[in-house]
């Protein structure tokens, strides 16, 4: 990692070998596991509960309290370099006794690898997992969505509030299995509460002008604007 915005080309950490091919006739269960799964078990003994390969993709189940350590290692270890967080979501099973699973989809562009990390949350305890926002800033909105839909609290998230439903939404968490499809309130009550939301309370109605954003602009653009170039405002 040379700079903050180092350019990564896909596969540049691999030794020169045959070019990547699209796998064909992938088995439903079984097959070769991602090398990162074994490395993870060796690095964190007792943390990886089990590993499964489904449709050629590797899933590792880890202990909830170790999620942040595992993720940080996967991101920073030079043999892993999972630099791209493509999804954070959760799964609740129809069997209400099954724990809720939180799922992270990681991709390592330099090694061309995909890894799915899961952790299980018992419903009897508080639904809390550590936020991976300190590692990948992309987790910001995805964790907010996961909180909005499932009510899972991401400890350490800088701004954990609803993102799809409005912030005063009172009916609960829509993707939970105990949530009725039409919501809990009558339609009139839902409409009354929706009309009472005040979008302007959180979102500024003022437009950002070039002058306000001047300090955040790139160097060369500041130079051009300083020389008198018009912005069209």
Residues near other proteins (CB under 8 A) are: 164-166, 171, 174, 178-184, 186-192, 194-199
| Contacts of 77 by beta carbon, 8 Å cutoff, 6+ apart | 39, 43
The token duo for 8 is 């990564």
Q: What are phi and psi of 223, to 5 degrees?
A: -65, -45
Q: Which run of H or of E encompasses 149?
A: helix 139-150
* Smallest separation, CB 100 to other proteins (Å): 17
Q: Which of 105, 79, 83, 101 is nearest to 92 (CA)?
A: 101
Residue closer to other proteins by CB (options 42, 201) is: 201
**Phi, psi at 63, each rounded to 5°:** -70, 140
Choose between 35 and 176: whose C-beta lies nearer to other proteins: 176
Q: Look at the alpha carbons of 213, 215, 218, 221 in this order and tell me if their dihedral is positive or negative.
A: positive
Distance of closest approach, residue 192 Cβ to other proteins, in angstroms: 5
Beta carbon of residue 170, minimum distance to other proteins (angstroms, whole number): 12
The least distance separating other proteins from the CB of residue 150, rounded to whole angstroms, comes to: 14
When the beta carbons of 20 and 172 are compared against other proteins, the nearer one is 172
Nearer to other proteins, 49 or 191 (CB): 191
**Pick 206 or 219: Cβ nearer other proteins:** 206
* Greatest pairwise CA separation for the chain in angstroms: 67
Q: For other proteins, give the closer residue by CB, 156 or 183.
A: 183
Q: How far is the CB of 96 from other proteins (least distance, A)?
A: 9
CB of 179 to other proteins, least distance (A): 7
Other C-beta atoms closer than 10 Å to the C-beta of 150 total 21
168's torsion region: left (phi>0), alpha (psi -120 to 50) or beta? alpha
């Amino acid at each position: 990692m040379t700079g903050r915005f180092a350019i990564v080309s896909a596969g540049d950490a691999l030794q020169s070998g045959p070019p990547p091919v699209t796998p064909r006739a992938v088995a439903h269960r079984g097959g070769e596991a991602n090398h990162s799964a074994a490395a993870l078990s060796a690095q964190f003994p007792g943390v990886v509960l089990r590993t499964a390969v489904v449709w050629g993709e590797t899933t590792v189940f880890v202990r909830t309290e170790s999620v942040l350590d595992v993720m940080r290692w996967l991101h920073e270890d030079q043999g892993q370099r999972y630099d791209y967080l493509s999804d954070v979501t959760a799964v609740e099973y129809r069997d209400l006794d099954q724990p809720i699973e939180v799922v992270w989809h990681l991709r390592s562009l330099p090694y061309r690898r995909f890894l799915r990390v899961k952790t299980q949350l018992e419903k009897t305890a508080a639904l809390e997992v550590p936020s991976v926002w300190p590692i990948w800033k992309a987790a910001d909105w995805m964790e907010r969505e996961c909180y909005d839909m499932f009510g899972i609290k991401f400890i350490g998230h800088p701004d954990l509030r609803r993102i799809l439903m409005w912030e005063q939404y009172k009916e609960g968490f829509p993707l939970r299995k105990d949530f009725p499809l039409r919501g809990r309130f009558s339609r009139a009550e839902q409409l009354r509460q929706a009309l009472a939301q005040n979008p302007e309370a959180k979102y500024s109605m003022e437009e950002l002008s070039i002058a306000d954003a001047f300090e955040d602009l790139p160097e060369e653009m500041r130079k051009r604007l300083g020389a008198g170039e018009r912005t069209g405002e």
